[in-house]
Amino acid sequence: MTEQTHRAASAALYRAVWRWHFIAGLVILPFVLILAITGGIYLFKDEINDAAYQNLRFVQEGSAPLAPSQITAAALAAHPGEMKAYTPAMAADRSAEVDILGEDGLKDTVYVDPYTGDVLGTLWDGGAAGSPAMYVVRKLHSLEYVGWFGNRLIEAAAGWMVLLVGTGIFLWLPRGRKLGTVSIKAKRGRPWWRDLHAVTGIYTGVFIVFLAMTGLPWSGVWGGKFYDYAYALGMGMPDGYWSGKPVSTVPVADAVDRAPWIMEKQPLPLSGESAGVPQALDTVVAKVEDLGIVPGYSVSMPGGPEGVFTASVYPDDITYERVIHLDQYSGEVLYDAMLEDLGTLGRWAEWGISVHMGQEWGLVNQIVLLLACLAMVGLCVSGAAMWWKRRPSGALGVPQVPADWRIPRALLLMAVAAGIFFPLVGLSMLVLAAVEIAVHLVGRRRQLA
H or E segment and range at residue 40 = helix 3-42
Are 252 and 264 in contact by the 8 Å Cβ rule? The answer is yes
99-110 pLDDT, tens per residue? 999 988 899 999
Half-sphere exposure of 312 (CA within 13 A, CB side): 23
> How large is the average pLDDT for residues 116-143?
94
Nearest alpha carbon to residue 219 among 166, 282, 142: 142
Are 440 and 401 in contact by the 8 Å Cβ rule? The answer is yes
| Angle, vertex CA 207, rays to CA 425 and CA 235, nearest 5 | 70
User: Which has more pLDDT, 408 or 102?
Assistant: 102
pLDDT at residue 308 in the model: 93
Give the C-alpha distances (Å, rounded to integers) separating 33 from 30, 181, 221, 251, 293.
5, 24, 22, 33, 39
> How large is the average pLDDT for residues 55-79?
95
pLDDT at residue 429 in the model: 85
Assess whether pLDDT exceeds 90 at residue 443: no
221-242 pLDDT, tens per residue? 998 898 888 888 878 876 656 5
| Average pLDDT along the chain | 87
Cβ-in-10-Å burial (0-12, 13-18, 19+) of 269 comes to buried
Give the C-alpha distances (Å, rounded to integers) separating 306 from 20, 117, 242.
55, 31, 16
Task: Give the whole-angstrom CA distance, residue 153 versus residue 156.
Answer: 5
pLDDT band at 35 (very low <50, low <70, confident <90, very high): very high
Contacts of residue 192, Cβ cutoff 8 Å, sequence gap at least 6: 184, 186
Give the C-alpha distances (Å, rounded to integers) separating 204 from 18, 43, 116, 197, 404.
20, 18, 50, 11, 33
Assess whether pLDDT exceeds 80 at residue 168: yes
User: What are all long-range contacts of 186-190, with beta carbons under 8 Å and residues at least 24 apart?
Assistant: 189/389, 190/385, 190/386, 190/389, 190/390
Assess whether pLDDT exceeds 60 at residue 370: yes
Are 25 and 352 in contact by the 8 Å Cβ rule? The answer is no
Nearest alpha carbon to residue 90 among 255, 289, 340, 328: 289
Q: What percent of the chain has pLDDT over 90?
A: 52
pLDDT at residue 71 in the model: 97
The lowest-confidence range among 69-73, 134-138, 258-262, 322-326 is: 258-262
> How large is the average pLDDT for residues 409-417?
73
pLDDT at residue 252 in the model: 87
132-166 pLDDT, tens per residue? 999 999 999 999 888 888 889 999 999 999 999 99
Contacts of residue 148, Cβ cutoff 8 Å, sequence gap at least 6: 220
H or E segment and range at residue 25 = helix 3-42
Exposure string over 109-143, b if 16+ CB within 10 A, otherwise e: bbbbbbbebebbebbebbbebbbebbbebbbbbbb
Task: Give the whole-angstrom CA distance, residue 173 versus residue 170.
Answer: 5
Task: Give the whole-angstrom CA distance, residue 85 versus residue 257.
Answer: 10
Cβ-in-10-Å burial (0-12, 13-18, 19+) of 2 comes to exposed
Task: Give the whole-angstrom CA distance, residue 238 versus residue 361.
Answer: 28
pLDDT at residue 401 in the model: 61
E strands along 233-320, which residues?
247-251, 267-269, 298-300, 308-313
User: Which has more pLDDT, 402 or 387?
Assistant: 387
pLDDT at residue 32 in the model: 96
> How large is the average pLDDT for residues 359-369?
94
Task: Give the whole-angstrom CA distance, residue 284 versus residue 301.
Answer: 10
260-317 pLDDT, tens per residue? 888 888 888 888 876 678 999 999 999 999 999 999 999 999 988 899 999 999 999 9
